[in-house]
Amino acid sequence: MPETTTQCSPLLAQFGEGGLGQTRRPDRWWLAPASVAVGLAAFAAYSTWAALSGENYTFSPYLSPFYSPNFHVPRIHVSPALLVLWAPLGFRLSCYYYRKAYYRALYLSPPACVVSEPVRDYRGEAGILRWLSIVHRWFLYASILVLSVLWLDALRAFDFNGHLGVGLGSVVLLLNAAALSFFTFGCHALRSAVGGNKRCFNCSALGHIRYRSWRAVSYLTSRHPFWAWASLYTVALADLYIRLLSMGVLHDPRVLL
Amino acid sequence: MSEIHLVVNRGNAGDERGWDESFYVRASKGMVVLDALWQVQEQVAPDLAVRWNCKAGKCGSCSAEINGYRLLLCKTRIDSLPAGQPITVQPMQTFARIKDLVTDVSWNYEINRALPPFRPRESSDWRWFQRDITRVQEMRKCIECFLCQDVCHVLRYQRTEKPRYAGARFYVRAAGLDYHPMDDRDRLAYLREEAGIELCNVTRCCTEVCPEGIRITDNAIIPPKERIVDRYADPIKALLRRMLRR
Ligand code: SF4
Ligand code: SF4
Ligand code: FES
């Protein structure tokens, strides 16, 4: 391997070839990456199981967000969730916040700030990972489509055979749609597309609208990590709730108007 | 609070590991770590090297690592650190040591010279609106403390030589110029090809340390990354551009 050096870092001189985890930080720096890893693994395990199960995903008038839009393609015998979930999954995998989260927690690059990482041929996002930025916007557009269907589902959840009503499930689906919207509309790619990519708002066409939308998206972007986690939980909990209703484990409290 | 136990990592040029030396100084109300180091200089070790200028958190000279965190010596109050425990102070680890707590940050000035500077638009009306300058103002808050360079793992642990990695401070400077309504240069090619912005993996340590609270990753790194995709990698945008050109 050709011997290369950083332009300025004397650290390798200090730590030698030192692998993972060298630091002078006295705190429990591993706590944050470890909890992220556990959180992501728990969601991955639950959602895979729920998506593959192919049953117990609806309890009239509710439909699990994992299974919406509920496509049934004749002669294709896969769980309907798999026909849809690629969009939100790809959106999250290529999201700038989740990238930070898994680069730190899973790829350990770096595991935490100023904690050394395994020495490897580092390419950052200049190599194959460049594709994450490229595809992110396409997953965003697909996710907005899925999200609009989830809003329809949330509204439908207030329709009990033609009677307007409120059930715990209606509230759960509504909150889930809201949390997913706060997450989706805080997307960095959207923030750029609506106006962030302009040097000057005032000199561009529709400058006022661009500026307003950029401000609104920026507000959500600054809270992107929060909504990323909140919506991950609401979506799993909404599925779990409907699953338990449909399995007869829980009873849905309702008020019909 | 009466006595403070300081553990200062000292050393001469070329000795990056250095040695730890303990000092005990009297505590007083509202004291910052730089005050404690002054006492050491005054009373015990007049040869202790530490760089500072304004003692007001605005010149960016006194960057160091206190208890392993990247902080300004003059802005870190003793009472914000865990009481009753020794306070460790070391120089920035990403830059070579000159003496004790003073490091050689001149590498940054070389990078700075390579960055395409402001070039005014021709015959423009030199009036602009607050909404167009807010983003510039955020970037102009930078005090060049280089803590963001010090904390960045690309500069700290990796051995990338090419493309040159300019580092967060210079993405901030480039963003401040790129957002300026009166500037007519385009720095995307520079950022991508010479400044190595794609090597950044948006893990945000720079944002976490910036004493000026600049949201470096959100506002100076991700936006150009998005514009790089717009320009170099988005097939639909490329098609539209080709059609419009015709
Ligand atoms: S976000 Fe990028 S520039 Fe900032 S510390 Fe991380 S890798 Fe370095
Ligand atoms: S961007 Fe912030 S951390 Fe970096 S040099 Fe400027 S003030 Fe310091
Ligand atoms: S002495 Fe100026 S920033 Fe600390």
Please provide residue B110's backbone torsions phi and psi, each rounded to the nearest 5 degrees: -65, -45
Whether A24 maps to a domain, the answer reads no
Question: Which stretches in chain B have pLDDT values below 50?
Answer: 162
pLDDT tens sequence across B86-115: 999 999 988 889 999 999 999 899 999 999
Classify residue A248 as left (phi > 0), alpha (psi -120 to 50) or beta: left
Q: Identify the three-state secondary structure at position A247.
A: coil
Domain count, chain A: 1
Ligand nearest to the CA of B167: 1
Whether A116 maps to a domain, the answer reads yes
| Structure confidence at residue A147 (pLDDT) | 95
Residue found under tokens 């070579």:
B96
> Sign of the C-alpha dihedral, residues A100, A106, A110, A112?
positive
**Beta-carbon contacts of residue A210 (< 8 Å; ≥ 6 apart):** A194, A195, A198, A201, A204
- Ligand 2 centre to CA of B143 (Å) is 6
| Among candidates B178, B183, B203 on the partner chain, residue whose Cβ is nearest the Cβ of A110 | B203
Which of A23, A25, A29, A114 would you mutate first to test chain B, the one with the most B CBs within 10 A? A114
In terms of DSSP bridges, do strands B102-103 and B97-99 run parallel, antiparallel, or are they unpaired? antiparallel
| Among candidates B67, B180, B205 on the partner chain, residue whose Cβ is nearest the Cβ of A26 | B67
Whether A252 maps to a domain, the answer reads yes
- Ligand 2 centre to CA of B106 (Å) is 15
| Structure confidence at residue A252 (pLDDT) | 87
A contact residues 209-228, partner B, Cβ 8 Å cutoff? 211, 221-222
Report whether A257 contacts A163 (CB < 8 A).
Answer: yes
Cα–Cα distance, B170 to B184 (Å, whole number): 18
pLDDT tens sequence across A60-89: 899 999 988 877 777 677 777 888 889 999
Whether A38 maps to a domain, the answer reads yes
pLDDT tens sequence across A1-28: 333 334 444 444 444 445 677 887 888 9
Torsion of CA B175, B180, B181, B185, to 10 degrees: -70
A contact residues 228-257, partner B, Cβ 8 Å cutoff? none
- Interchain proximity A25–B70, CB inside 8 Å: no
What CATH class does B3-103 carry? alpha beta
Taking the Cβ of residue B131 and every Cβ of chain A, the question of whether any pair is shorter than 8 Å is answered with yes
| Residue A142 CB neighbour total at 10 angstroms | 16
Residue B177 to chain A, least CA–CA distance (Å): 10
Of B216, B92, B105, B65, the residue nearest A7 (C-alpha): B105
Report whether B202 contacts A133 (CB < 8 A).
Answer: no
Q: Answer whether B202 contacts ligand 1 (Cβ < 6 A).
A: yes
pLDDT tens sequence across B128-163: 899 999 999 999 999 999 999 999 998 887 655 545
Residue A53 to chain B, least CA–CA distance (Å): 35
| Structure confidence at residue B246 (pLDDT) | 59
Q: Answer whether B166 contacts ligand 2 (Cβ < 6 A).
A: no
Domain boundaries, chain B: 3-103, 106-245
pLDDT tens sequence across A122-146: 888 988 898 999 999 999 999 999 9
Report whether A24 contacts B71 (CB < 8 A).
Answer: no
> Sign of the C-alpha dihedral, residues B61, B197, A5, B162?
negative
The secondary element (H helix, E strand) that includes residue B40 is helix B33-43
Q: Do domains B3-103 and B106-245 have the same CATH topology?
A: no
Residue A70 to chain B, least CA–CA distance (Å): 29
User: What would the two tokens of residue B202 be?
Assistant: 């948006």
Q: Which residues pair with B88 in a beta bridge?
A: B7
**Beta-carbon contacts of residue A38 (< 8 Å; ≥ 6 apart):** none
Q: Identify the three-state secondary structure at position B50.
A: coil
Architecture of domain B106-245: Orthogonal Bundle (1.10)
Residue found under tokens 């103002």:
B137
Residues of chain B in contact with residue A100, where contact means CB-CB under 8 angstroms, are: 201-204
Question: Using the 8-state DSSP alphabet, how is residue A124 labeled?
Answer: T
| Structure confidence at residue B161 (pLDDT) | 55
State which ligand 1 atom lies nearest to the alpha carbon of B148: 5
In percent, the amount of chain A with pLDDT more than 70 equals: 91
| Structure confidence at residue A153 (pLDDT) | 93
Whether A8 maps to a domain, the answer reads no
**Beta-carbon contacts of residue A98 (< 8 Å; ≥ 6 apart):** A92, A228
Cα–Cα distance, A166 to A256 (Å, whole number): 6
Q: Answer whether B145 contacts ligand 2 (Cβ < 6 A).
A: yes
- Ligand 1 centre to CA of B168 (Å) is 6
Cα–Cα distance, B24 to B43 (Å, whole number): 10
Report whether B143 contacts B213 (CB < 8 A).
Answer: no
Counting one residue from A and one from B, how many pairs have CB atoms under 8 Å apart? Answer: 170
Burial (CB count <10 Å: 0-12, 13-18, 19+), residue A105? buried
What range does the domain containing A119 cover?
31-256
Residue found under tokens 């060298």:
A22
Of B146, B109, B93, the residue nearest A10 (C-alpha): B93
Give CA separation, B116 vs A64, A218, B182, B220, in Å: 53, 28, 15, 16
Closest residue to atom 7 of ligand 2, CA basis = B142
| Residue A76 CB neighbour total at 10 angstroms | 10
pLDDT tens sequence across A96-114: 999 999 999 999 989 999 8
Average pLDDT of chain B, as a whole number: 91
pLDDT tens sequence across A207-241: 899 999 999 999 999 999 999 999 999 999 999 99
Cα–Cα distance, A166 to A195 (Å, whole number): 39
Query: Which amino acid makes up residue B242?
Result: R
Torsion of CA B228, B234, B237, B243, to 10 degrees: 120
Of B11, B151, B16, the residue nearest B96 (C-alpha): B16
pLDDT tens sequence across A155-171: 999 999 888 999 999 99
**Beta-carbon contacts of residue A109 (< 8 Å; ≥ 6 apart):** A103, A117, A122, B153, B201, B203
Whether A15 maps to a domain, the answer reads no
| Structure confidence at residue A16 (pLDDT) | 44
ipTM rounded to 2 decimals = 0.89
Considering the entire predicted model, what is its pTM?
A: 0.91
| Structure confidence at residue A18 (pLDDT) | 55
